[in-house]
Amino acid sequence: MHNETGCSAGRSYRYEWALFADWCAAADMTPLPATPVTLAEFLGDNPAGDRAQIRRVSAINRAHRDAGHPEPGLVTALRLAVDSVRAQRRRDLAQVLAAAAADLPFTGSTDALFGRRDTVLLLLTAAGLSYRAIAELRSTDVTVDDEDSLWIGGRHRVRIDDVAVPGFRPAQVWRRWNEVLVFADRYPSTALILQHLRRDTFPDTTGWPGRQSPVAVSIDRWGHLPLPADAMTPAAIAGVIAAHRVGAPPRRTLIRLRGHDRGRSDDDTGHVVEPARPEWDSHALDTGYYESGVAARRSAHTALAEIPELYDEVEDRIDALLTRTLELLEQHNSTPDPRH
């Protein structure tokens, strides 16, 4: 074993190790020991032919083996790193989506309708289903078993229980949305649906015939469900999820009471409920107040909207680099013998 700079890789690998050590110094990373992610990033930043890349992996593995460290360029180590990165990514995303779902209403009026649907979309995304899979999902594919676990049938065969996606109660989330779907299938009236949402008094739909309606139902901005139910596109689902991730849910226009609905009884006591009138405040404001406020909100929204995209880009790059390195080594069946 030679010195700490990695000369232990041997004279035949002196150039490859020096290149790796220099790159680590420039990137502020540790060359010994190095992680599979560091190795993958090094190969990605220093493109070369397969033979040259394999030789670099051999040099790095040799230095680690001589120093008594785990070799970062073994197929098994890379495969575990890929799995670990993807698993951590799912956990991080699930935590963000659960926090967003906790703020969504399930009783009230139009907001509750969107809230029930969007919570299901957040849950399924957190559980690992793709936007395309969610768009293709039908209500008959989803069931709740005796243990209150959610089963996604069809071609997925996925079980979602309380511990699988922390922050969600999957069975409860599904029941709240499914009762809307089943009720709307029999009584396609927005007014009736909103009445039950306000009071949280949907009838027991157990035993009602269920049709293969989409789980991700498109709802227009006023809260109307199409008849027959129309499935959201994967792009539309992605847009909803992205908006919730940055704490800026899609804008919706609440349904206003029509003239003949004003003054009607809107609760179980018979009391008349009048539409709330806005309260005006007559503070004198600077002429540039609104412009500066709008500019600040726009700037904050833009900055927040870019955070998930940047985060995804970094994770996508790491995932791609690890996968590319793994494929390179698997094409050669195993890590090449450093003696050749």
Q: Please tell me which of 53-57, 227-231, 308-312 the model is most confident about, judged by mean pLDDT.
A: 53-57
Percent of the chain at pLDDT above 70? 73
pLDDT in tens, 32-47: 998 888 888 888 888 8
- Among the listed ranges 39-43, 57-61, 282-286, which one has the minimum average pLDDT value? 282-286
pLDDT the model gives residue 115: 92
Q: Evaluate if residue 264 carries a pLDDT over 50.
A: no
Look at residue 89 and give its three-state secondary structure: helix
Q: Evaluate if residue 271 carries a pLDDT over 50.
A: no
Query: Which token pair is 332?
Result: 């050669």
pLDDT the model gives residue 299: 52
pLDDT tier for residue 177 given thresholds of 50, 70 and 90:
very high
Stretch 232-244: mean pLDDT: 90
pLDDT the model gives residue 20: 93
What is the DSSP pairing of strand 158-160 with strand 142-144? unpaired
Query: Which token pair is 184?
Result: 């709307």
Percent of the chain at pLDDT above 90? 14
Q: By CB neighbour count within 10 A (0-12 exposed, 13-18 middle, 19+ buried), where does 126 fall?
A: buried
pLDDT in tens, 94-142: 888 888 888 899 988 888 999 999 999 999 988 888 888 999 999 889 9
The CA distances from residue 36 to 42, 80, 227, 323, in Å, are 10, 9, 52, 11
Tell me which H or E stretch contains 12: none
Q: Which residue has the higher pLDDT, 148 or 211?
A: 148
Q: Evaluate if residue 336 carries a pLDDT over 80.
A: no
Residue whose structure tokens are 């009736």: 192
Q: Evaluate if residue 237 carries a pLDDT over 80.
A: yes
pLDDT in tens, 216-225: 998 887 778 7
Closest CA to 60 of 3, 14, 1, 2: 14
Stretch 188-208: mean pLDDT: 83
pLDDT the model gives residue 4: 45
Q: Evaluate if residue 261 carries a pLDDT over 70.
A: no
pLDDT tier for residue 80 given thresholds of 50, 70 and 90:
confident
Distance CA(329)–CA(334), nearest Å, equals 6
Quick check: 179 and 166 in contact, CB under 8 A? no
pLDDT the model gives residue 314: 56
With vertex at residue 213, the alpha carbon angle to CA 246 and CA 156, rounded to the nearest 5 degrees, is 70
Q: Which residue has the higher pLDDT, 48 or 331?
A: 48
Distance CA(87)–CA(126), nearest Å, equals 11
